[in-house]
A and B are shown apart, each in its own frame.
Chain A
Amino acid sequence: GENVEQHPSTLSVQEGDSAVIKCTYSDSASNYFPWYKQELGKRPQLIIDIRSNVGEKKDQRIAVTLNKTAKHFSLHITETQPEDSAVYFCAPKAAGNKLTFGGGTRVLVKP
């Protein structure tokens, strides 16, 4: 099955700085690459995703970049704000509709 790793596991940034989380995966057949955000005590929610035929996608302060050759994709958050504090999960999809979730990155934005 798919092996997914996220780095770092925790990330502390000053408000206004940028944050980058990297996700590596093992299955070369993976073709969909989402990032989910989970606030404390809440359900995970999709914040951005990218398909395998696209290298980068932006949505306001967040972006995802994909390197299929190296089998990794990254979440970029610019101008971080306190409400960005949460746990972020990558969840690449290989065959079928199943997602494989990474272990999560806890982001703390310090005011």
Chain B
Amino acid sequence: NAGVTQTPKFQVLKTGQSMTLQCAQDMNHNSMYWYRQDPGMGLRLIYYSASEGTTDKGEVPNGYNVSRLNKREFSLRLESAAPSQTSVYFCASSEERQGYEQFFGPGTRLTVL
């Protein structure tokens, strides 16, 4: 039981490049989330998916898109990376029927030059 997994662990991009961050969970959770964490700060919600087939904007969605590919997988895409998107990105999942605890992946450290 791997929980929540994320790839890649580290990534360096040049301004204007695109990339997709992958997230998968094996806990059969309905809800999945993408957060960003800037140095010394809390987590800010980018997008979330309450269930397969649905996605909604969070607090800081600009510059990002998401895809809930199936119940297990939720990807985050940066179409044209900017230095302001340098951050650590965390994926999380939860299941309302089991309480509201969110389980986090190990994070992706992204640097945009």
Q: Which residues of A contact B (CB under 8 A)?
A: 1, 32, 34, 42-46, 49, 89, 93, 96-104
Q: A43, B44: Cβ atoms under 8 Å?
A: no
Q: A98, B48: Cβ atoms under 8 Å?
A: yes
Tell me whether A101 and B50 are in contact in the complex, defined as CB-CB below 8 angstroms, given that A43-B104, A46-B102, A93-B100 are known contacts: no
Residue of A42, A43, A89, A97 near B96 (CB, 8 A) is A97
Q: A99, B42: Cβ atoms under 8 Å?
A: no
Number of B residues contacting the other chain (C-beta, 8 Å)?
24
Q: Which residues of B contact A (CB under 8 A)?
A: 31, 33, 35, 40-45, 48, 50, 58-59, 90, 94, 96, 99-102, 104-107
Q: Closest CB of chain B to A15's CB: distance in Å?
A: 24
Q: Closest CB of chain A to B19's CB: distance in Å?
A: 21
Main secondary structure of the interface of B (DSSP, over half): loop
Q: B100, A32: Cβ atoms under 8 Å?
A: yes
Main secondary structure of the interface of A (DSSP, over half): loop
* A99 surroundings in chain B (CB, below 8 A): 45, 100, 102
Q: A98, B42: Cβ atoms under 8 Å?
A: no
14 A-B pairs (CB sep. < 8 Å): A1-B59, A43-B90, A43-B107, A46-B101, A49-B99, A89-B43, A97-B31, A97-B48, A97-B50, A97-B100, A99-B100, A100-B45, A101-B42, A101-B44
